[in-house]
Structure 1
């Protein structure tokens, strides 16, 4: 399966195919004629796929690799000098290439490094987690975290290419399959009722995995359409933040140690929809429909955190513009809209 993100000079292709990791060189050579490639990965993913990728690339290029510990803690701003130093030691130039091999953390981190090192180096995304494959590897948003909050230092940096191999999901811990399903469910909630109903119909992950290529393609295609219409996240693209305003705040509140991203936004989707129902802005029962599907994929629906405590984290959200937040609410499953309000919007509940 193939599609193209049409962004003029920043356009790039996306390929989705089981086993594509065996043939990465066939996709890199036509788009990159430079000399050096640096692979950035984490200590888990590189153990599975790093050597296979390294061996393919070294037949045509001088190849290096940077390995960071897995997990959100590696997206800290203060890790950057170490990465820049390793790139300098490798003598990477602006005409060379960085490959992000890993999940959402690696894609964000390597993409941000590529956007800032020497004022910009080309890069390629090879996402290996479900969350990264359906969402974060597409769209060009890259970032690192500050102690005060998630993704507070970032840039827009589009890859030359995205290669998605659904076979990598076989080596994921089950928790991170469920984590990725948080983003998949999000797409059903905001854009595609039939996708939502399809997710509700599966009786097991094995059954879902039979269709995983199609599901990944559908999510990526939905995101591609939004990104083409709203490159810089001020219009239609805000819809992709459904569940994220509360979810990011929960991640930050727990210092990225309790909930994964998909778990946090699952709580955010259910709780924000419940709040919208109380305000009369979403039909009654919608949050229950989301809750049932979220629980089906073993994702949490409530954190039992005080609303007042969570508001402190929400106040630092980068989407908090002039003390206003753009809440993404549902007209119904499959249709969303943006509702501007402030932090008091969530005061109708005592805890999230």
Structure 2
């Protein structure tokens, strides 16, 4: 049976208010009194309810992270960086998956608001985030977006240098003598559109015509990594390899790479002898292949860390009535050259 604060007070020979002062650090008490209280807490195994304590202070100390697709390891790493940063400020993270469905995303946000979270970090399923205007109208809390740009709701954002990273990758392939370069992405969203634009920019700059047939996107379904092996990108890659004379393939993210690389392996296509290959993202298994895959590395932990700082800064602004312009911070990517091109 759980002990109560009254039992702690009785055992320590003090008032309930004094126990509260000691546990919450809200008022100085004599050292010997504090020791009696803490001895009683330990003897009774009294458990402090941090949620109830925070609610009394007008805050929950909870931040919600609404993730578009948890099957993507990238967002797990973002969550790690976010959680680490929030913990430094005494906040805990609630992680919830939207499975690339806007209706689920909206329900997730609604449930988190009902749980009185102090802030939200969102990787949106679609660009249209105008619904937040209505949901937050009577419940204003800070919001930060990661990885994908929102439309219809202005807030802080943390993104990678998507266009620059893709541009660097394709420039590298062109410098290696390739002109027939294809691009595959797991789905078409604002992030993949930026990477596709970097691909096009590098081709245009080199005077190479952009072939629309060489640009392919998968569907918007959220499926497991295993299902991506023979999913939409696998089929696109198979079509590109069997019906077009491509000499290089640039994959837009890890999920696309799962399908594209599976196809290359099953067709016994040698990398880089038969086709050069570069991928955006640098998943842990890219160094386990033969050859290891050249990658445009993102830094998801850093994206989460910066988003956490933004949320904590906004919470301070909210308390102090400060209104600052929204921020967009880009985290630089880096090309890591290995043996696949």
TM-score, normalised to structure 1, is 0.32
Of structures 1 and 2, the one with the larger relative CO (CA 8 A, separation 6+) is 2
Greater helix proportion? 1
TM-score, normalised to structure 2, is 0.33
